[in-house]
Chains A and B, each alone.
Chain A
Amino acid sequence: MDDTERRLADLHAMWRIRALEEKIRELRIGGEEIVGSVHLCIGQEAGPVGACTELGPDDALFATYRGHGWALARGVPAEGIIAECAGRATGVNGGRGGSAYFTAPEHGFHGENSIVGAGLPIAVGAALAGRFDGGGRLAMTVCGDGALNQGASHEALNMAAAFKLPVVFVCENNYWSELTPIDEMVGEPELWRRAAGYGMAGARVDGNDPAAVRAAVREAAERARSGGGPTLLELMTQRLVGHYIGDVEQYRRPGELDRAREEEPIARLTGALEAAGVAAGRIEDARARARAEIEEAAAAALAAPLADPETAKDHVYA
């Protein structure tokens, strides 16, 4: 794929996530279809889009409750995601998981997680299993900046480094952990520097540029697959929305959101393509196709029946 085609593909992929999130927000605010806590990744689309193209079908991805975008980029169909958020029988987990805790292993998406930091040790285990089953699997785990302060995160980073396991730890540093800024909660706000302490590679990456993310993940994945051990990547990005839908965001610092909007990945890539002379119609097409796909997925999802209460007790045990 030449560079322009790649960039248009990235723009389209980011628009799919943006459109999905906006649709989910609309459904959450506008009526009864989606209830409860929903965490959107609007503004953070470049991470999943850049990273997931480097994953093979047998690789294992672990995300957090802010995981719709990662699921979509990994290949989980939008219809199944929306249906899950709306408690439909056709949701990826038939309504059991909801927005914050769904899983779609058939797509190499091994789950969101609503416990901060819990995904890191699980990813270590996925990589560890690859040593024994010969699968050569890469495990990628995504967490927030705040999550690196969990005990489980420290233990996972150390174990992966000690065993030189093929894990890529992706930290999406969006500066905020719910309502509290990361720079007040750590002694060293450059989180990627922790990698050295564990004896693994680490890097800080422009997390609003899918190409930069892709390059960093490719290097980390190659290192991991060739026995060079894990990598900690710190993607610098920002969420343009609240921690969850309904968050009034009183904690934001003056000017922060204005700056964030200038740097957000979709506007940036659109501007870059325009500046490179790519036809306006092709840029618009990337957006329009994404929106149409999501509208159709939402209509199909909402046309499906609600999960049957009779099934609520199924699947606790084998």
Chain B
Amino acid sequence: MPELIAETRKLKYGEAVNAALARLLEEVPESLLYGEDVGKPGGVFGVTRGLRRKFGERVFDTPISEAAILGSAVGAALMGARPIVEIMWADFSLVALDQLVNQAANARYVSRGAAPAPIVVRTQQGNAPGACAQHSQSLEALFLHVPGLRLAMPRTAQDAHDVLVAAVHADDPVIVVENRSLYFGDKAEVELGGAPRPMGWSHLRRPGRDVTVVSWGAVTGQALAAAESLAARGVEAEVLELTWLNPVDLDAVLASVARTRRLAVVHEANVTGGFGAEIVARVAEAGLGLDAAPVRVGAPDVRIPAAPGLAAAVLPGAGTIAARIAGMTAA
């Protein structure tokens, strides 16, 4: 492995992904990077721009064949390659779930560790104004129901970089769910080149004594805005951002809830069977006494409509989140 040189640069989220990919192609000679429009065009969001020129044929375009993309990644990984593949929208992974659920997730287990399939799947999800119902879903809970798959949902440029580095250096199949509403945001200082971190970290984004708000992905920004507005009303919400959902930093959740004795979970995915339910269940199982019934904030169980006005009516925004939290601290 070439020596790691830490360096800090101002990058947008998408640029941080690009920097991580460049570094990984450099330091992991077995890595391959491919997917639809990933190679020559540099990705539909420009995230893989320049990598084909720099790394040649290890970066390439594929047919519009998700089953072949994911299945070939599994096969290549079984032979020792480190494929990093892109599924352009999380919704499109559904046409090839067999390769994730029946193949990638099983490989290590059935072979008793002899033949794992450490693939990294980069994808993105979430709603952007005007996106149709087949381009708006938040599918993390669906993947998280499958033992054997790791999953992270980075929200900041730093995490976008660090998650990918950790994922490629990990020996499990990892799904990295980015969010397209984040690609072109503001630049932030990103430390590049640090040593790969073990998976599973979280961030305490805002301390507070009254309620623990656990969130992940882009909607964490709305949760933080809600916490700000609540502070003006005298409610101090602690916001814990889970960068990884598997492995999940349950210790951080329990430690925070033990302090605040109230729990709200916020995600963009719909509520039924969501990962928020899992967090609530684990807190309940831990036997922590709560001063208020826990709250789950997410999209109601509805398809996501295209018209921005309709979508806004069903997606959790800062106002809804603040109102739900205010409700549980009112007593």
Interface: B63 (CB within 8 A): yes
Kindly report which residue of chain B lies nearest to residue A147, judged by CB atoms: B64
CB-defined interface of B300-331 with A at 8 Å, one 1/0 digit per residue?
11110111111111100000000000000000
List which B110-137 residues lie within 8 A (CB) of chain A: 128-135
State which size class the interface on A falls in.
35 or more
In the complex, which residues of chain B have a beta carbon less than 8 angstroms from the beta carbon of A185?
A: 61-64
B236 at the interface (CB under 8 A from A): no
Question: Bound state CA distance, A147 and B95, in angstroms?
Answer: 13
Q: How far is the CB of B93 from chain A (nearest CB, A)?
A: 11
CB–CB B307/A151 < 8 A: no
Contact present for A113 and B305 (CB under 8 Å): no
Q: A87-B309, A115-B95, A178-B44 are in contact. Are A316 and B303 (CB under 8 A)?
A: yes
Tell me the complex Cα distance, A101–B303, Å: 13
Query: Is B44 touching A117 in the complex (CB atoms < 8 A)?
Result: no
| The stretch of A47-55, A231-239, A291-299, A304-312 that contacts the partner chain | A304-312
- Output the nearest chain A residue to B96 by Cβ-Cβ distance: A151
B58 at the interface (CB under 8 A from A): no
Contact of B132 among A114, A150, A186, A307 (CB under 8 A): A114
Q: A98-B131, A98-B306, A179-B44 are in contact. List 17 more A-B contacts (CB 8 A).
A: A36-B130, A36-B306, A36-B308, A37-B130, A87-B310, A98-B130, A115-B94, A116-B64, A150-B65, A178-B36, A178-B37, A179-B37, A309-B313, A310-B313, A312-B302, A312-B310, A313-B302
15 CB < 8 A contacts A-B? A35-B130, A87-B306, A96-B303, A101-B133, A113-B134, A114-B132, A115-B94, A146-B63, A177-B36, A179-B37, A179-B40, A184-B61, A251-B40, A307-B310, A316-B303
How far apart sit A203 and B47, CA to CA, in the bound complex (Å)? 39
Residue among A34, A147, A151, A186 with the most chain B CB within 10 A?
Answer: A151
Chain A residues positioned under 8 Å from B302 (CB to CB): 312-313, 316
A158-183, CB < 8 A from B: 177-180
- Cβ of B95 and Cβ of A150 under 8 Å apart? yes
A residues 121-164 in Cβ contact with B at 8 Å:
146-147, 149-152
Output the least CB separation between B322 and chain A (Å): 19
- Cβ B95 vs Cβ A35 within 8 A: no
CB of B166 within 8 A of chain A?
Answer: no
Residue of B44, B68, B306, B309 near A97 (CB, 8 A) is B306
Taking a contact as CB atoms under 8 Å apart, the answer to whether A97 and B37 are in contact is no
The answer to whether B143 has its CB under 8 Å from any CB of chain A is: no
A210 at interface by CB-CB < 8 Å:
no
When each residue 229-268 of chain A gets 1 if its CB lies under 8 Å from chain B and 0 otherwise, what string results?
0000000000000000000001100000000000000000
The answer to whether A87 touches B307, judged by C-beta atoms less than 8 angstroms apart, is: yes
Verify if B67 is at the interface (C-beta below 8 Å from A): yes
| CB under 8 Å from chain B, chain A span 261-318 | 306-307, 309-313, 316
Q: Which residues of B contact A91 (CB under 8 A)?
A: 307
Chain A nearest Cβ from B68, distance in angstroms:
8
Verify A36–B133 contact, CB threshold 8 A.
Answer: no
Asked whether B40 lies within 8 Å of A180 as measured between CB atoms, the reply is yes
Minimum CB–CB distance from B64 to chain A (whole Å) comes to: 4
Contacts of B310 in A (CB 8 A): 87, 95-96, 307, 309, 311-312
Taking CB atoms, residues of chain A closer than 8 Å to B66 are: 150-151
- In the complex, are the beta carbons of A151 and B306 less than 8 A apart? no
Docked-complex contact A36 and B129, CB < 8 angstroms: yes
B128 nearest CB neighbor, chain A only: A36
| B196 close to chain A: CB less than 8 A | no
In the complex, what residues of B have CB within 8 A of residue A309's CB? 309-310, 312-313
Contact A117 B64 (CB under 8 A): yes
CB-defined contacts of B68 to chain A, threshold 8 Å: 151
Smallest Cβ distance from A143 to chain B, in angstroms?
Answer: 10
Interface residue B228 (Cβ < 8 Å from any Cβ of A): no
For residue B131, which residue of chain A has the nearest CB? A36
- Tell me if B75 counts as interface (CB < 8 A to partner A): no
Check if B314 sits within 8 Å of A313, measured CB to CB. yes
Is B95 a contact of A152 with CB atoms below 8 Å? yes
CA distance A151 to B91 in the complex (A): 16
A180 to chain B, nearest CB (A): 5
Q: How far is the CA of A178 from the CA of B148 in the complex (A)?
A: 33
Which residues from chain B contact A96 at a C-beta distance below 8 Å? 133, 303, 305-307, 310
The yes or no answer to B50 lying at the interface (CB within 8 A) is no
- Complex alpha-carbon distance, A116 and B69, angstroms: 15
* Residues of chain B contacted by A312 (CB below 8 angstroms): 302, 305, 310-311, 313-314
Per a CB cutoff under 8 Å, which of A88, A113, A149 touches B63? A149
